[in-house]
Chain A
Amino acid sequence: MAGKRSVDESFLALPLSALADAALTRAVDLGCEHADLRVERIRTQTVRLRDARLEALADGEDLGLAVRVVHEGTWGFAAGVVLTAAEAVRLAEEAVAVAQVSAAMNTDRVELAPEASYDGEWVSAYEVDPFAVPDAEKTALLTELSEQLLAADGVEHVSSSVMQVKEQKFYADTAGTRTRQQRVRVHPEFTASTVDRATGSFESMRTLAPPVGRGWEFVNGDGWDWRGELAQLPELLREKVKAPSVEAGRYDLVVDPSNLWLTIHESIGHATELDRALGYEAAYAGTSFATVDKLNTLQYGSPLMNVTGDRTAEHGLSTVGWDDEGVAGQQWDLIRDGVLVGYQVDRNMARLRGMDRSNGCAFADSASHVPVQRMANVSLQPAPDGPSTEELIGGVERGIYVVGDNSWSIDMQRYNFQFTAQRFYKIEGGQLAGQLRDVAYQATTTDFWGSMTAVGGPQTYVLGGAFNCGKAQPGQVAPVSHGCPSALFENTAILNTKTEGGR
Chain B
Amino acid sequence: MSSLTPQEIVEQALAASTADGAVVYVTDSSEANLRWASNSLTTNGAMRSRQVVVVSFVGTGSGTAVGTVARTGTPDVAELVAASEQAARDAGPAEDAMPLLTETPPGSGDWDAPAATTSIDVFAEFAPALGKAFGAARDRGELLFGFAEHQLASTWLGTSTGLRLRHDQPTGRVELNGKSADFSRSVWAGVGTRDFTDVSVADLAAEVAQKLAWSANRIDLPAGRYETLLPPSTVSDLMIVAYWAMEARDADEGRSVYAKAGGGNRIGDRLATLPLTLRSDPDAPGLETSPFQVVGGSSGSSSVFDNGMVTPAVDWIREGVLTNLVRPRSWAEKQGAPATAALDNLVLEDPSATATTAEMIARTERGLLLTTLWYIREVDPQTLLVTGLTRDGVFLIEDGEVVGAVNNFRFNESPVDLLSRATEASRTERTLPREWNDWFTRAAMPMLRIPDFNMSSVSPAS
Known contacts A61-B70, A101-B120: does B456 contact A200 (CB below 8 Å)?
Answer: no
Say if the beta carbon of B141 comes within 8 Å of chain A. no
Say if the beta carbon of B38 comes within 8 Å of chain A. yes
Chain A, residue nearest B83 (CB)? A59
Known contacts A283-B147, A416-B459: does B41 contact A75 (CB below 8 Å)?
Answer: yes
Q: Are B47 and A105 in contact (CB under 8 A)?
A: no
Known contacts A279-B145, A368-B47: does B1 contact A81 (CB below 8 Å)?
Answer: yes
Q: Which residues of A sit under 8 angstroms from B408, Cβ to Cβ?
A: 411
Say if the beta carbon of B382 comes within 8 Å of chain A. yes
Say if the beta carbon of A134 comes within 8 Å of chain B. yes
- Name the contact of B44 in the complex, choosing from A58, A77, A287 (C-beta under 8 A): A77
Q: Which of B305-313, B333-341, B412-420 is found at the contact surface with chain A?
A: B412-420
Please, could you name 10 A-B residue pairs with CB atoms under 8 Å apart, sorted by A? A64-B72, A75-B41, A78-B47, A79-B47, A282-B38, A282-B179, A283-B146, A409-B377, A416-B410, A501-B379
B397: min CB distance to chain A, Å:
22
Top 10 nearest A-B pairs (CB, nearest first) are A200-B261, A413-B461, A81-B73, A500-B412, A283-B145, A56-B297, A135-B90, A283-B177, A195-B254, A411-B461
Proximity string of chain A (265-286) to chain B, C-beta cutoff 8 Å, 1 when within and 0 when not: 0000000000000011111101
Say if the beta carbon of B367 comes within 8 Å of chain A. no
Say if the beta carbon of A372 comes within 8 Å of chain B. yes
Q: On chain A, which size bracket covers the interface? A: 35 or more
Known contacts A136-B90, A410-B375, A416-B458: does B43 contact A370 (CB below 8 Å)?
Answer: yes
A476: min CB distance to chain B, Å:
10
Q: Are A53 and B95 in contact (CB under 8 A)?
A: yes
Say if the beta carbon of A330 comes within 8 Å of chain B. no
Q: Give residues of chain B (389-422) contacting chain A, Cβ–Cβ below 8 Å.
A: 389, 391, 408, 410, 412-414, 417, 421
Chain B, residue nearest A56 (CB)? B297
Q: Which of B6-14, B122-130, B209-217 is found at the contact surface with chain A?
A: B122-130
Known contacts A82-B1, A105-B134: does B90 contact A501 (CB below 8 Å)?
Answer: no
Say if the beta carbon of A83 comes within 8 Å of chain B. yes
Say if the beta carbon of B50 comes within 8 Å of chain A. yes
A60 to B53, CA, bound (A): 9
Say if the beta carbon of A224 comes within 8 Å of chain B. no
- Name the contact of B452 in the complex, choosing from A60, A94, A415, A503 (C-beta under 8 A): A503
Q: Which residues of B sit under 8 angstroms from A1, Cβ to Cβ?
A: none
Dominant SS at the A interface?
mixed
Dominant SS at the B interface?
strand
Chain B, residue nearest A94 (CB)? B46
Q: Are B35 and A61 in contact (CB under 8 A)?
A: no
16 further A-B pairs in the complex, CB-CB below 8 A; given A105-B130, A282-B177, A497-B379: A50-B95, A54-B94, A55-B298, A61-B72, A63-B73, A101-B120, A102-B41, A104-B128, A139-B90, A198-B261, A202-B381, A283-B37, A409-B410, A418-B412, A474-B438, A501-B383
- Name the contact of B34 in the complex, choosing from A105, A136, A200, A444 (C-beta under 8 A): A105
Say if the beta carbon of B183 comes within 8 Å of chain A. yes
A98 to B41, CA, bound (A): 12
A370 to B33, CA, bound (A): 11
Interface centre among B46, B86, B297 (most CB of A within 10 A): B46
- Name the contact of B387 in the complex, choosing from A75, A139, A201, A409 (C-beta under 8 A): A409
A142 to B341, CA, bound (A): 29
- Name the contact of A54 in the complex, choosing from B48, B92, B143, B263 (C-beta under 8 A): B92
Known contacts A136-B90, A368-B47: does B127 contact A282 (CB below 8 Å)?
Answer: no
B238: min CB distance to chain A, Å:
14
Q: Which residues of A sit under 8 angstroms from B31, Cβ to Cβ?
A: 474
Size of the B side of the interface (Cβ < 8 Å), in residues, is 108
Proximity string of chain B (288-326) to chain A, C-beta cutoff 8 Å, 1 when within and 0 when not: 000000001111100010000000000000000000000
Say if the beta carbon of B462 comes within 8 Å of chain A. yes
Q: Which residues of B sit under 8 angstroms from A408, Cβ to Cβ?
A: 377
Chain B, residue nearest A200 (CB)? B261
Chain B, residue nearest A348 (CB)? B42
Q: Are B413 and A157 in contact (CB under 8 A)?
A: no
A82 to B92, CA, bound (A): 35
Chain B, residue nearest A47 (CB)? B91
Chain B, residue nearest A84 (CB)? B74
Q: Are A442 and B410 in contact (CB under 8 A)?
A: yes
Q: Which residues of B sit under 8 angstroms from A78, Cβ to Cβ?
A: 45-47
B300: min CB distance to chain A, Å:
7
Q: Which residues of B sit under 8 angstroms from A62, Cβ to Cβ?
A: 72
Say if the beta carbon of B39 comes within 8 Å of chain A. yes
Known contacts A60-B71, A63-B73, A105-B34: does B48 contact A79 (CB below 8 Å)?
Answer: yes
Q: Give residues of chain B (413-462) contacting chain A, Cβ–Cβ below 8 Å.
A: 413-414, 417, 421, 438, 452, 454, 456-462
Q: Are B388 and A409 in contact (CB under 8 A)?
A: yes
Q: Are B36 and A105 in contact (CB under 8 A)?
A: yes
Known contacts A80-B48, A501-B417: does B375 contact A56 (CB below 8 Å)?
Answer: no
Q: Are B87 and A107 in contact (CB under 8 A)?
A: no
Proximity string of chain A (68-81) to chain B, C-beta cutoff 8 Å, 1 when within and 0 when not: 00000011111111
Say if the beta carbon of B106 comes within 8 Å of chain A. no
Q: Are A82 and B83 in contact (CB under 8 A)?
A: no
Say if the beta carbon of A435 comes within 8 Å of chain B. no
Chain B, residue nearest A81 (CB)? B73
B4: min CB distance to chain A, Å:
12
B192: min CB distance to chain A, Å:
14
A78: min CB distance to chain B, Å:
5
Q: Which residues of A sit under 8 angstroms from B71, Cβ to Cβ?
A: 60-61, 63
- Name the contact of B254 in the complex, choosing from A107, A136, A197, A473 (C-beta under 8 A): A197
